[in-house]
């Protein structure tokens, strides 16, 4: 079994065109995901005002997020790896697939992409704010934490199995679709 090689990064990595292109791809793909996903939530909230979402509306929201992530990962997969999520970047760093410098660049780009998307949504929706997600009544913060851990593990498992693992062969477009549907 080959050992993983961890790297801090090359001296020129901070200014190398490939690194800049990959960082910009992470910014753009995270922007697309947040803008499309949260924009759908705001649109549903606007349509149904004070009513609780029905099962169909929740399914619409889930599919909007899934297809937004599918599109974002597909668009940036061949440039940056299509991480879109800081947890995926962390997993790639721990797995020895990217350097520390590149991981930091990706995290900053992902954070800025989500902030810019959120601010632009507030601007174009006249200061609407998303309702947010919460654990259903009767469940505590511990339950929510366990749910987040299990779902993040599931996401990372799918990402590694379809997009990162070098033994997987060529999977093509199925990787971004599987990742999006896992969300």
Quick check: 2 pLDDT over 60?
A: no
Long-range contacts of 131-137 (CB under 8 A, 24+ apart): 131/41, 131/45
Q: Where are the domains of the chain?
A: 13-182
133: pLDDT strictly greater than 70? no
pTM: 0.81
DSSP one-letter string for 58-110: HHHHHHHHHHHHHHHHHHHHHHH----SHHHHHHHHHTTSS-HHHHHHHHHHH
**Largest interatomic CA distance in the chain:** 57
Q: For the domain with range 13-182, which CATH number is right: 2.60.40.10, 1.20.1080.10, 3.40.50.300, 3.10.450.50?
A: 1.20.1080.10
Distances (CA, A) of 31 to 77, 79, 86, 113, 140: 15, 16, 13, 4, 31
Q: Over the stretch 30-74, which tens digit does the pLDDT of each residue have?
A: 999 999 988 888 877 766 666 666 777 778 888 888 889 888 888
């Amino acid at each position: 079994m080959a050992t993983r090689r961890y790297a801090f990064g090359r001296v020129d990595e901070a200014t190398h065109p490939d690194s800049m292109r990959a960082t910009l791809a992470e910014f753009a793909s995270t922007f697309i995901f947040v803008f499309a996903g949260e924009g759908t939530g705001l649109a549903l909230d606007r349509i149904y005002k004070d009513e609780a979402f029905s099962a169909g509306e929740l399914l619409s929201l889930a599919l909007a997020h899934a297809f937004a992530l599918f599109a974002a990962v597909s668009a940036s997969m061949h440039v940056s790896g299509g991480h879109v999520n800081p947890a995926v970047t962390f997993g790639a760093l721990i797995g020895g697939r990217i350097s520390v410098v590149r991981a930091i660049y990706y995290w900053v780009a992902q954070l800025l992409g989500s902030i810019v998307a959120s601010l632009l949504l507030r601007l174009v929706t006249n200061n609407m704010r998303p309702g947010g997600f919460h654990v259903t009544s009767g469940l505590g913060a511990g339950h929510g934490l366990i749910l987040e851990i299990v779902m993040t593990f599931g996401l990372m498992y799918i990402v590694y199995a379809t997009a990162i693992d070098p033994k997987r062969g060529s999977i093509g477009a199925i990787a971004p679709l599987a990742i999006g549907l896992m969300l």
